[in-house]
Structure 1
Amino acid sequence: MKHSVSLLLAASLLAAQAQDAPQTNLPRVTLSAGMHQIDAQVALTPDQRSIGLMFRKEMPQHEGMLFAFEQPSTQCFWMKNTILPLTAAFVADDGTIVNLADMKPQTTDSHCSTKPVRYVLEMNQGWFAKKGIKAGFKLGGTPFAGR
């Protein structure tokens, strides 16, 4: 009995640590923004989307996270437990950026799409601005092909 209690305690401690760990093993997709390539992790499930980029201490400039939802709808994001300053691009099915939102780390401020979208691409804050990418710009890649 004592052994199973210590195993249970160890398992719950590991689970608690895992909740505070960044997810870095998600599938990846290459997206294009004009001549720029983006290596994006893809968050497909509700659990993957709810964790997102939480707990990440750094992210290379050419990397991001693409959140893919089942249906287009108004998507709202916040930055609780997210350390990195990010910009969210709310993206229509065809890859067109509907709107961009700079998001401040570790806040519960809500940042929403101005129209229903299926995709949200998070990049390091300033990435889109440095590349001159604004609302109306069309991203390329497999998720947006044929739409």
Structure 2
Amino acid sequence: MWRAILVLAGLLLAMPVSATEACREDIVHIRTEISELSFEIELAASPQDRSRGLMFRESLPLQAGMLFVFERPQRVAFWMKNTLIPLDMIFVDSSGTVTRIHANAVPHDETPIAGGDGVFAVLEINGGLADHYGIMAGSEMRHPVFSQGPAVWPC
């Protein structure tokens, strides 16, 4: 039942992206084959912020997430230790291209979730939303962190 409510709320609350909307530090835009949407995000750019991530949070607003940004593209792996809510992990290269999705990561699971090589950023959102919105490998992300480019969807 709660899953149906989450999907319905997502349809009603999805924030469409305006072509003229400026890039902001607290918003990430995603362009898929079928839609453009945005999420309000917290930026996790320091090692301390990345290590804490979304641990210990009991909920995450529907159109919210956390964008983990690394100093340079690299091999990364995440886990769900001390994370209380299921999450989709969207792995992105330095151009803003989605390279991999890990859907519905299980709360408290300590199994490493590998993102592959060349990961520059990871967007974590509520579990199931990537599939719901059609976010997949090849989708494009726009945010100021990709401005060093070459960005596939520049600000």
Question: Percent of aligned pairs with the same residue?
Answer: 34
Large movers: runs of 4+ above 4 Å: none
Q: 1:112 aligns with which of 111, 114, 120?
A: 114
Matched, 1:29 2:29: no
Gaps of at least 5 residues in structure 1 are 1-27
Matched residue SS, 1:32 = strand
TM-score (norm 2): 0.74
Q: Could you tell me which residue of structure 2 aligns to residue 78 of structure 1?
A: 79
Please give the alpha-carbon distance, in whole angstroms, between the structure 2 residues aligned to 1:38 and 1:60.
Answer: 10
Residues 82-101 of structure 1: matches in 2 within 5 Å? 82-101=83-102
8 Å Cα contact 1:29/1:142 also seen in 2: no
TM-score (norm 1): 0.78
User: Following TM superposition, by how much is the alpha carbon of 1:44 offset from its aligned partner in structure 2, in angstroms?
Assistant: 1.2
User: Following TM superposition, by how much is the alpha carbon of 1:37 offset from its aligned partner in structure 2, in angstroms?
Assistant: 1.2
8 Å Cα contact 1:98/1:115 also seen in 2: no
User: Could you say which structure has the larger radius of gyration?
Assistant: 1
Please give the alpha-carbon distance, in whole angstroms, between the structure 2 residues aligned to 1:134 and 1:42.
Answer: 21
Q: Could you tell me which residue of structure 2 aligns to residue 19 of structure 1?
A: none
User: Following TM superposition, by how much is the alpha carbon of 1:146 offset from its aligned partner in structure 2, in angstroms?
Assistant: 4.8
Gaps of at least 5 residues in structure 2 are 1-24, 150-155
Q: Could you tell me which residue of structure 1 aligns to residue 46 of structure 2?
A: 45
Q: Could you tell me which residue of structure 2 aligns to residue 54 of structure 1?
A: 55
More strand by share: 2
User: Following TM superposition, by how much is the alpha carbon of 1:101 offset from its aligned partner in structure 2, in angstroms?
Assistant: 0.7
